[in-house]
Each structure stands twice: as structure tokens, then as C-alpha cells.
Chains A and B, each alone.
Chain A
């Protein structure tokens, strides 16, 4: 191959790469627009004036007049919005806290210890996971009702149900524990450490990423919990979470002008959750990647 041939080949290759990159950029920009457009629309419509314009569905994006009508509506006591927000936050906080503790306990036991019935337990939980969650809704409702944890007591009831079954979601965390070398445990045991000491002083400090991942996922789930929350809190407005309360606005009241109010509430719900997620994104990626590979 002569020198000129080589350079022409080189230039053609870099030219091809450049056109390839331009196409890639175009695709990425188009995708970004599609991905962000609904959120852009959500924010814009939340600022549409309720008094001067219509609050329901309209066929234009830009509000004719920007106003804070909808936000004001949420906070002036006409609705229990603050209560709903507080409920959701309470549920999310406690579920994140206790679910993380339980998942850590289960994962440590299943990853580090060998006991009779270990594989049987794992297989049993795997099979249980194949039953659809909503199947047991009526039964759970009546169970909670026995303890007075429905309607007025729906918030602690929802926390209890979420925590109670969280032991089955150990897969990602156990997978992470499995990657911590067993030799560490053995060395500590020779030094006279008990199993509990190994867990609290060695494994847990090493597992910061997976703890954050578990807590983050647990914290985000209650913000979308519509199904069970609506069933347990049925008819008791003060025990609703944001998803249950605001879904109502879209499905039954949107023509009464509640659509823009839903947008305003949606913005207020989405902002803190999104910021939290973005701040902890690194740990989330680590968790889902590890979880996907191990199954």
C-alpha cells in the first residue's frame, strides 16, 4: 500500500466517522427533545392561569398568562395537599429505613451463612414472587382492618405492608455481599469475632453503595403507589398519598379545571424526587447493573 493510498483511506475513514457522529448527535438531540418534552409541557401548563384561562385540557402549550394560581390552590387549604405530601413523605421515609435494614439482614444471612433450609427458603420466596401482588389485596385489607390500620390508619398500615414483605427483595444486595471475599470473614473469625460483629463492623461499612441503592429504590416506590394505597385508604381523604389523591383529579375532575392543578402538584412531587435521584444516580447505576447481571 503506497503512502497516498493510505492517507486517502485515512481521510475517508475519518470523514465517515464524522458523518457517523453527526447522525449520532442528531439522534441524541431528537431523543432528548422527546424525553424532555412532556416534562417541559407539565411545567408550562402548571403555570397556566386558572382565573383567566381554562384549567382543563387545552390545545396549546404556552399559557397565555403565567400565574401561580394552581400552586396557590394547593396550599390555601381548599385541599389536603400538604397532608397528602406529608403522608407520602412519611411512608417513603419509614419504608426506606426499615426496608433497608431488613434487606441487609436477609442478604447477610443468605450470603454469609450456611444453614439448613437455606436453598429451600430462597426457592420458596422465588415461587412466592410469581404470584401477582394484587391477588392478596382483599385479604391484606381485612388483615389490616383487624388492627385498625385502614382508612384513618392507612399510613401506618401501608408502611407495615411494605416493610413486612420486603425480605423477598434481597437479590441485588445479596449479589453485592457475595462479591466481598469470604476470606475476610474467616480472618475475622480466627481473631474471635462473632457473626454479628463481622456483619456490623466489616460487611456493612463496606456496603455503602448498595445500602444507598436499596434505600433510594425503597424511598421512590411509595411516590407511585396507587393501587394498594387507594384500596386501603378508600374514602378517607386525609390518608391519601399524592398518587391516589392526584390521580383522581386527572381521571374524574380534569374537565372541572383540575388538570393544571394536577400539573402543579406533579411538579412539586417530581422536583425533590428527581433531585434526590440525580444526586444518587451513581449508586443507582451500580445497583441495577449488578442486579441485572446476577439476575
Chain B
């Protein structure tokens, strides 16, 4: 993370840990020598950031550093310090009722959240402080060599030219930090606390419990989550596998069917199929779910026609509802793959097929040895993202079954069609068991990361970039 540019020439090939410490070492060396050799402006910059640049006429940079330091001090004194001091306990003062009046004590939630924010801000300031020293170092060096310093105007306009990337990325990075990175760090921390229904802030405190929640996830006791976790994880993987490959191959087949020579109204067929992409899923999936309900249309007609005498338990039988979900997902998912495959199939050079036909290959053989390898090669990354997307495919599952049918055998409100993410959602919203929700979230991350890593290294387009090109 630290400025490795001072040392990166020597250590690029060695192991990352050694590289890190070597970079750290050379950073400290530079900080020391800059202080020892620097003039009084530089030396004062160690305490008052931007002091050197300001006195050397670098108003824009100097003010930037100075304002950053001022805001940091203002934040720490007025806000950050009181939270970070309670970080190790997450608060000790219980909320009490004194004479029928609620006197709020510490709020563990906010203590944890703002402590993390404060830690990150401290790290950012240290980084900025280091940059400020380097700035002084560079300025002194240039002056010693008799070169002019960068003008303020040039520095400011560089944010539209050489430094344009910083202008473009500043807001997105800040947004992602506030609303993605900070919450993720927070939730990872929650996995090591006892934050749940009986420890809700602000009325109750919660505190660190170490690895207890993870132990709970893997324990088979009466309160343990292990067997439920196993069931849900298995179904998540099975679902992702079937959802990905059924839509992949069927979508490709439909694309080939429509591309077939002699088929007319190609555009019309495609337009009909993409209706399922266009219509918002909460409309289409909720309607379909109701269509197959016990008192729904399908059972109604089948009963009326005398095909069955009892309604088919589409959504109450675990196995049947799993099959239904996969089937309905085909309805939703084929059009995506069809659109993708249609364009790609046309890219396959037609002389490949021509020469195969002359050699007497059957259509099946041609598919197996030309079309499929090409498609797998080109869409390898898509298959991977589609698989990981299905691992977290909340909408299809939740709108169709809400994870049901539920069972007393499963803990934490889980049902037989729950994916890890829908279980996580229930854990958060219905059971308010935040600590276990956080643990499951980490598990989802691990599963996704491990699968991505393994598959990514298996992809033919990664192994052999030149094939087919």
C-alpha cells in the first residue's frame, strides 16, 4: 500500500512480504533523510502539513495539505476520538431507565461504525503526511538544481489533463468507500460480535466475542447451524450449476434454431423471447409463482379437466419446488444467452463449416467440434460471471418461493429452496440475527472467491489467449 516506487526496482521479483518491508524501510529512510537535510520550511512541514509548499509559492498544494490537516484535527477532536476510545469494548454504559426517563448509554453500533471510519481516516492522513514530505523533498531538490517549481496554474489545470484520472475517480472511489467498503468492513467486524435480537443498539450493548459465531456455524448441536448451513450451501451450488448450464445450452440451441437457414421472421421470434427480460421480474415472477400455486391457474385447469384429483404441490414439496425454480429460471434466462449467442454464432467463419461438410461431417459433429469449442472459448468469462451471479440470484428464488417450503428441521427460518443470500436476507430482516447474517455473508464471499479463482485459472481464454484468433 505504501509508496513502493522508491524501492520497486530492486524487489519486483522477490516475495511480496519482503517487498513490502523493503519498501517500508526505504520509506522510513527517506522520511529521515528529508528531515535531516531539509531546510526549516521542510522541517516545519512535518508538523504543519503544507507549510513548505506554501512558503515556496505553491499555494494550491500547500493550502490543500493545510486544509486536510485542519479538517482531520477538527474531525478527531469533535467526533472521532470519543468513538475510537471505546473501540476495544464497544461501549460500557448501559441504557437505563431513571425515573421513567430513558437515559441512553453507549451505542455500540455507532461506536463500531465510526471507529472504523476513524481508523481509515487516520490511515489516509498518514498517507497524505507522507506525500507532503515527498512534496517537500521534490521541491527542495528542484530548487537546489536551479529548476523552477511547477506553477499553481499548471498544477490546477493538470486535473483536466495529466491528472484527469484523479478528477474522474475521486467521486466514484469516495462513493464506493462510503457505501460499499466501509459497510463491508463493518459487517466483517459484526461477525466477531454478539450483535443480535437481544443485543440491539441503542438500548442494549453488544461486544466482541471472537470466533464464537463461526464455531456456532459449524457446530451440530441443537442450536448449531451446521446441518442447515450444509443443506443451504449444497442447494446453492446445485442451483447455480443447473441454472447456469441449462440456460447456457438451451439459449445457445434456441439461437442456433433461429439462425437456421430457411427460418423466417427471425426478428419476431427474438422479440417474443426477450419479453421476459423487458418485463420487470417482480411482475412476471410473482405472476408465475401464483400461476403454479395450489389454488392457481395450472392446478385449477388440471383439476377441472380431471387430469389430477389433488392439486400438485408445486411450491410445498421441496423437490418439486426446486425443479420448478430451475424450469422457470430457464424461461427467464434463455433470452439472455440467446441474444449473446446469436451475435457470436455469426462470427464463426462459415468456411469452417463448409470444409467440414465436404469432409462429410454430420451437423452433430460440426456442433461438437466447431461451434461448441468456439463458444466455450469466447464465452468462458460470461459462464463464470453467470455462475457467480446465480450463486447470488436473489430475485428468482425470493419472488418465487421466498425460500420455502420451510421446515422445522432447518434453523434460522431457512427453507429448502433458500440460497445462502436469501437465508442471509431472512436472517437480517426476520430473525434480526445480525451476527450470523454477517458470518453467512463472509461464507458467500469465500464460496464465490474460491470458485472464481479455480474456474478463472481453468478458462481456455486465460490459458491460451491466442487460440481462435
Q: For the complex, what is the distance from the CA of A262 to the CA of B162, rounded to whole Å?
A: 54
Does B71 sit within 8 A of A, measured CB to CB? no
Let me know if B162 and A295 touch, CB within 8 A: no
A6 CB to nearest B CB, Å: 15
Q: For the complex, what is the distance from the CA of A161 to the CA of B257, rounded to whole Å?
A: 42
Among residues 306 to 355 in chain B, which have CB atoms less than 8 Å away from a CB atom of chain A? 331, 336, 339-340, 342-344
Which A residue sits closest to B286, measured CB to CB? Answer: A250
Chain B residues within an 8 Å CB radius of A10: none
B-facing mask of A265-295, CB < 8 A → 1, else 0? 0100110011001100100110011011111
Let me know if B263 and A21 touch, CB within 8 A: yes
Does B428 sit within 8 A of A, measured CB to CB? yes
Let me know if B279 and A39 touch, CB within 8 A: yes
Chain A residues within an 8 Å CB radius of B445: 130-132, 135
Chain A residues within an 8 Å CB radius of B336: 288
CB within 8 Å for A139 and B180 given contacts A102-B171, A273-B278: no
Chain A residues within an 8 Å CB radius of B295: 57, 59
Chain A residues within an 8 Å CB radius of B425: 134, 137, 227
Let me know if B180 and A165 touch, CB within 8 A: yes
Interface-facing stretch out of B93-101, B140-148, B393-401: B393-401
CB within 8 Å for A167 and B184 given contacts A35-B273, A41-B297, A273-B279: no
Interface-facing stretch out of B203-211, B379-387, B410-418: B379-387
Q: For the complex, what is the distance from the CA of A142 to the CA of B173, rounded to whole Å?
A: 21
Interface-facing stretch out of B20-28, B55-63, B222-230, B434-442: B434-442
Does B299 sit within 8 A of A, measured CB to CB? yes
By the criterion of a CB under 8 Å from any partner CB, how many residues of chain B are at the interface? 101
CB within 8 Å for A278 and B278 given contacts A31-B254, A132-B445, A247-B286: yes
Does B172 sit within 8 A of A, measured CB to CB? yes
Q: For the complex, what is the distance from the CA of A84 to the CA of B158, rounded to whole Å?
A: 45
Contact residue range for chain A? 35 or more
Does A25 sit within 8 A of B, measured CB to CB? yes
Does A224 sit within 8 A of B, measured CB to CB? yes
Does A105 sit within 8 A of B, measured CB to CB? yes
Which B residue sits closest to A255, measured CB to CB? Answer: B295
A-facing mask of B226-269, CB < 8 A → 1, else 0? 00000000000000000000000000001001101111000001
Q: For the complex, what is the distance from the CA of A127 to the CA of B176, rounded to whole Å?
A: 13
Let me know if B160 and A194 touch, CB within 8 A: yes
Let me know if B399 and A226 touch, CB within 8 A: yes
Let me know if B183 and A38 touch, CB within 8 A: no
Q: For the complex, what is the distance from the CA of A226 to the CA of B428, rounded to whole Å?
A: 15
B468 CB to nearest A CB, Å: 12
Let me know if A142 and B113 touch, CB within 8 A: yes
A113, A132, A293: the one contacting B344 at CB < 8 Å is: A293
Q: For the complex, what is the distance from the CA of A197 to the CA of B63, rounded to whole Å?
A: 27
Let me know if A36 and B272 touch, CB within 8 A: yes
Among residues 143 to 174 in chain A, which have CB atoms less than 8 Å away from a CB atom of chain B? 143, 160-161, 163-168
Which A residue sits closest to B395, measured CB to CB? Answer: A224
Q: For the complex, what is the distance from the CA of A254 to the CA of B295, rounded to whole Å?
A: 11
Let me know if B165 and A115 touch, CB within 8 A: yes
Q: For the complex, what is the distance from the CA of A246 to the CA of B449, rounded to whole Å?
A: 35
Q: For the complex, what is the distance from the CA of A128 to the CA of B381, rounded to whole Å?
A: 18
Which B residue sits closest to A139, measured CB to CB? Answer: B183
Chain A residues within an 8 Å CB radius of B342: 285
Does A82 sit within 8 A of B, measured CB to CB? no
B164, B288, B290, B421: the one contacting A57 at CB < 8 Å is: B290
Let me know if B271 and A164 touch, CB within 8 A: no
Let me know if B282 and A196 touch, CB within 8 A: no
Q: For the complex, what is the distance from the CA of A176 to the CA of B422, rounded to whole Å?
A: 34
Let me know if B277 and A113 touch, CB within 8 A: no
Let me know if A31 and B273 touch, CB within 8 A: yes
Among residues 417 to 465 in chain B, which have CB atoms less than 8 Å away from a CB atom of chain A? 420-421, 424-425, 428-429, 434, 437-438, 441, 444-445, 448-449, 452
Chain A residues within an 8 Å CB radius of B395: 224, 226
Q: For the complex, what is the distance from the CA of A61 to the CA of B291, rounded to whole Å?
A: 10
Residues of A within 8 A of B (CB): 17, 20-21, 24-25, 27-28, 31-32, 34-36, 38-39, 41-42, 57-61, 102, 105-106, 108-109, 113, 115-116, 118, 121, 125, 127-128, 130-140, 142-143, 160-161, 163-168, 194-197, 199, 220, 223-224, 226-227, 231, 242-243, 246-247, 250-251, 254, 259, 262-263, 266, 269-270, 273-274, 277-278, 281, 284-285, 288-289, 291-295
List 19 additional A-B contacts (Cβ < 8 Å) besides A60-B301, A105-B172, A136-B179.
A31-B273, A38-B287, A41-B297, A128-B181, A130-B449, A132-B424, A134-B424, A135-B437, A138-B437, A139-B186, A143-B179, A168-B176, A194-B161, A195-B160, A246-B286, A263-B287, A277-B274, A292-B382, A293-B379
Nearest 4 Cβ contacts at the A-B interface:
A59-B300, A295-B381, A167-B172, A135-B441
